[in-house]
Amino acid sequence: MGIEILQTILDEIGKQELFPGASLNPNKNGTCIIPLPGDGNLMFELDGREEHLIVVSILGTVTPGRYRESLFKEALKANGLPYPREGTIAYSSKTEHLLLFEKMHLPGLTGGMVVTYLPKFLEKADLWRQAVSTGAVPSVVDTQSGLGLQSLLGLR
């Protein structure tokens, strides 16, 4: 039953042409992986209980050291922002990947709702992916320029 729900949502997303030419079908593991420009991927799958759609973007590999500590501090600050915060930053110790994910409650969820949510999620993922790839630490609040995640997300 779950794969049908996921496919219905993916079909609705496909009608919006947000990802032209991308195959919006789950693989044998029940995950739909959409390549993004650059190094990114966007993944859709259902949680084990089939109560939530999980949206994930891998932000990059982060090895142990001072950089990872600084990055994690800013990730915690970003995760502490009030809703809507466009995803939660997490770390997989198994793969050493930093991730951005969102759990969307399935009952009543439509592909149109997902499409409305995705632009800011993808913008945040891109900002963090670029930072990880260049060894930078994105600042939640850049006191000199007023830019950073709060500005990016429209918060002041």
Architecture in CATH of 2-152 = 2-Layer Sandwich (3.30)
pLDDT at 155 (0 to 100): 38
Task: Enter the pTM of the model.
Answer: 0.83
**58 pLDDT higher than 90:** yes
Q: pLDDT tens for residues 73-94?
A: 999 999 998 888 889 999 999 9
**What is the residue extent of each domain of the chain?**
2-152
Beta bridge partners of 92: 97
Quickly list H helices, the chain: 2-15, 66-79, 111-134, 149-152
How large is the average pLDDT for residues 59-85?
Answer: 91
pLDDT at 141 (0 to 100): 56
Q: pLDDT tens for residues 94-151?
A: 999 999 999 999 999 999 999 999 999 999 999 999 999 999 998 875 322 334 444 4
CA distances, 76 to each of 70, 90, 93, 152 (Å): 10, 9, 16, 17
